[in-house]
């Protein structure tokens, strides 16, 4: 990520503005719900809640480790292909009469291995995550096509497909949403309440300084990419279950939405700040928006435009706000603004304790 920017790195008083960002998200969410209700009488129904959540669950699940990776100053574009490879491999194994529990374990292991490949190339090889994961985006998808070919496998047992399509008994809550919530809580605790989380923030804020203060940067990064691969594989399995069909082209195009959700959740694309609750809110906001647009019969092309604009605005707004703020400070006689692309090493080195949580 550092390799592809000439822009200034916005540095907010993140503890405060993050809170503000999340407040903004809540307000936006409420606005969307009111709008959705006005657009369609079916919007505020329990069945509709299940629909809008179910359609975005794979994206939501993959957004969780992506949050950690972006906070650490990297990116993983390969998640959609890792999920596709998981789906294809699961189909292949099931077709070859491997018992489903074992097949699922193998698929998860392969997902983690794929993440390991990313992590090693990036953290040990010193290669930029953007290109490495662009490469594995193609590689994993290609492997998926080689493993399964163009066929679809759909004779999975009912017990398996019920997880993806079914609801928690007596409610309209889809099972994948439960998985998402559990993962979100676990990762939120890890990120916001443990030393691992502090190290992740430290790496994202200043990788060099983190290393000197004893953070094992490479090890943390490899771990994060493995987690991303593992959870992408899990998302692939859930997608397979929800569609009751394994295909090599599963999850194609999802990375865009995953990255959008993460940035919309207030995670700084330059690393160093962001929170899981913010991303969870963003997931729900995007799900509500897409659903409201569909119920209002807004066509998919307009939705695609809306998603792209949302992605850009989620960076333009905080960046511009920051520039406006520093301009005001300059007028008040503060220091001159930092030049473009201040290298990480020259930035304010935050103490590891100073985390938004």
Partner 1 sequence: MTAATRSGQRLGAIARQRELGLLVILVVLGAAVTLRAPQFLTIANLSQVSVLASVTAVAALGEALVILTRNVDLSVEATIGIVAYVVAVTLESHTFSAPVAILFGIGLGLLLGIVNGVLVAFLRVPSIVATLGTLSVFRGIDYFIAGSHQVPLAGLPEGFTDPARSDVFGVPVFVLVTVILVAIGTVILRSTRFGRQVYAVGSNPEAAAILGIPSRRVVFTAFAACGALAGLAGVMWVMEFGTINGTAATGAVLAIVAAAVVGGVNIFGGSGTLAGAALGALFLGFVANALPLIGLSQFYLQAIYGAVILAAVAADALILRRLQRSRTRRSGR
Partner 2 sequence: MLMFAACSGGGATTAPGGSGAAPSTAGGSAAAAKITVGYLPKDIVNQYFAAAKTGVDKAAAETGGTVKQVGPNEAKADLQIPFINDLTTQKVSAIIVSADGKDEVAPALKAAMAAGIKVVGFDSSPAVGAYNVFVNQVDFSGVGVNLADWACELAPSCTGDIAILSAAATATNQNAWIDLMKTTLATDKYKGLKLVDTVYGDDDATKSTQQAQTLLTKYPNLKVIVAPTTVGILAAAQVVKQAGKSDSIKVTGLGFPNDMKPFVKDGTSPVFGLWSVPDLGYLSFYVAQKLVSGEITGKEGETFTVKGLNNDKPYTIGKDGVVILGPAFRFDKTNVDNFNF
The footprint of partner 2 (CB under 8 A) covers 40, 42, 45, 47-48, 51, 54-55, 149-152, 154, 161, 165, 239, 242-245, 247, 249-253, 290-291, 294-295, 297, 299-301, 304
* Nearest Cα residue to 80 out of 140, 32, 21, 25: 140
Specify whether the CB–CB gap between 61 and 230 falls below 8 A: no
Taking the complex as a whole, how short is the minimal distance between the CB of residue 243 and partner 2, in angstroms?
4
Residue 355 to residue 190: CA distance in whole angstroms: 13
- Which of the listed partners (partner 1, partner 2, none) does 315 bind, with a CB threshold of 5 to 8 Å by partner kind? partner 1
Residue 54 to residue 320: CA distance in whole angstroms: 34
* Closer CB to partner 1, 9 or 244, in the complex: 9
List beta partners, residue 246. 153
Residue 216 to residue 211: CA distance in whole angstroms: 6
- Which of the listed partners (partner 1, partner 2, none) does 294 bind, with a CB threshold of 5 to 8 Å by partner kind? partner 2
* Closer CB to partner 2, 207 or 290, in the complex: 290
CA geometry: angle 265, 270, 274, nearest 5 deg: 30
Contact positions toward partner 1, by CB under 8 A? 1-8, 75, 121, 125-128, 130-132, 134-143, 145-146, 149-150, 248, 256, 259-260, 263, 269-270, 299-312, 315-316, 319-320, 323, 339-343, 345
Residue 331 to residue 103: CA distance in whole angstroms: 63
* Closer CB to partner 1, 171 or 320, in the complex: 320
Taking the complex as a whole, how short is the minimal distance between the CB of residue 145 and partner 2, in angstroms?
10
* Closer CB to partner 2, 54 or 264, in the complex: 54
Beta-carbon-side half-sphere exposure of residue 193 (alpha carbons within 13 Å): 7
- Which of the listed partners (partner 1, partner 2, none) does 45 bind, with a CB threshold of 5 to 8 Å by partner kind? partner 2
Phi, psi angle pair for 167, to nearest 5°: -115, 160
Specify whether the CB–CB gap between 240 and 92 falls below 8 A: no
Taking the complex as a whole, how short is the minimal distance between the CB of residue 1 and partner 2, in angstroms?
29
- Which of the listed partners (partner 2, partner 1, none) does 270 bind, with a CB threshold of 5 to 8 Å by partner kind? partner 1
* Nearest Cα residue to 234 out of 276, 268, 187, 195: 187
Q: Would you say the C-alpha torsion 92, 94, 100, 101 has a positive or negative sign?
A: negative
* Closer CB to partner 1, 329 or 354, in the complex: 329
- Which of the listed partners (partner 1, partner 2, none) does 250 bind, with a CB threshold of 5 to 8 Å by partner kind? partner 2
A 10 A CB-CB count for 165 gives: 14
* Closer CB to partner 1, 32 or 269, in the complex: 269
Taking the complex as a whole, how short is the minimal distance between the CB of residue 54 and partner 1, in angstroms?
22
- Which of the listed partners (partner 2, partner 1, none) does 251 bind, with a CB threshold of 5 to 8 Å by partner kind? partner 2
- Which of the listed partners (partner 2, partner 1, none) does 152 bind, with a CB threshold of 5 to 8 Å by partner kind? partner 2
Beta-carbon-side half-sphere exposure of residue 244 (alpha carbons within 13 Å): 12
3-state secondary structure of 167: strand
* Closer CB to partner 2, 123 or 238, in the complex: 238
């Amino acid at each position: 990520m550092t390799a592809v920017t000439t822009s200034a790195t916005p540095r907010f008083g993140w503890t405060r503005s993050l809170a503000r960002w999340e407040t903004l998200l809540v307000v936006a969410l409420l606005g969307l719900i009111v709008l959705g209700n006005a657009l369609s009488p079916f919007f505020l129904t329990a069945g509709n809640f299940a629909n809008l959540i179910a359609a975005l669950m794979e994206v939501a699940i993959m957004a969780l480790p992506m949050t950690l990776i972006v906070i650490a100053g990297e990116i993983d574009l390969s998640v959609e292909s890792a999920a596709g490879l998981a789906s294809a491999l699961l189909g292949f194994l099931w077709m070859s009469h491997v018992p489903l529990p074992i097949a699922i374990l193998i698929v998860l292991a392969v997902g983690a291995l794929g993440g390991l490949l990313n992590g090693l190339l990036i953290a040990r090889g010193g290669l930029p995550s953007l290109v490495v994961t662009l490469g594995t985006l193609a590689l994993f998808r290609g492997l998926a096509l080689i493993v399964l070919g163009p066929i679809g496998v759909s004779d999975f047992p009912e017990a398996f497909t019920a997880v993806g399509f079914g609801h928690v008994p007596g409610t309209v809550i889809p099972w994948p949403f439960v998985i998402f919530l559990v993962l979100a809580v676990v990762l939120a605790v890890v990120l916001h309440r443990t030393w691992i989380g502090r190290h992740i923030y430290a790496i994202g804020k200043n990788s060099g300084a983190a290393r000197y203060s004893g953070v094992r940067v490479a090890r943390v990064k490899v771990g994060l990419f493995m987690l991303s691969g593992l959870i992408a594989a899990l998302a692939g399995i859930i997608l397979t279950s929800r569609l009751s069909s394994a295909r090599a082209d599963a999850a194609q195009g999802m990375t865009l939405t995953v990255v959008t959700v993460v940035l919309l959740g207030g995670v700084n694309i330059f690393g160093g700040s962001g929170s899981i609750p913010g991303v969870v809110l963003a997931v729900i906001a995007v799900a509500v928006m897409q659903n409201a647009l569909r119920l209002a019969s807004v066509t998919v092309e307009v939705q695609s435009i809306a998603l792209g604009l949302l992605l850009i605005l989620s960076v333009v707004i905080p960046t511009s706000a920051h520039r406006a703020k520093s301009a005001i400070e300059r007028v008040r006689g503060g220091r001159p603004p930092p030049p473009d692309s201040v290298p990480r090493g020259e930035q304010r080195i935050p103490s590891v304790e100073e985390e938004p949580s």
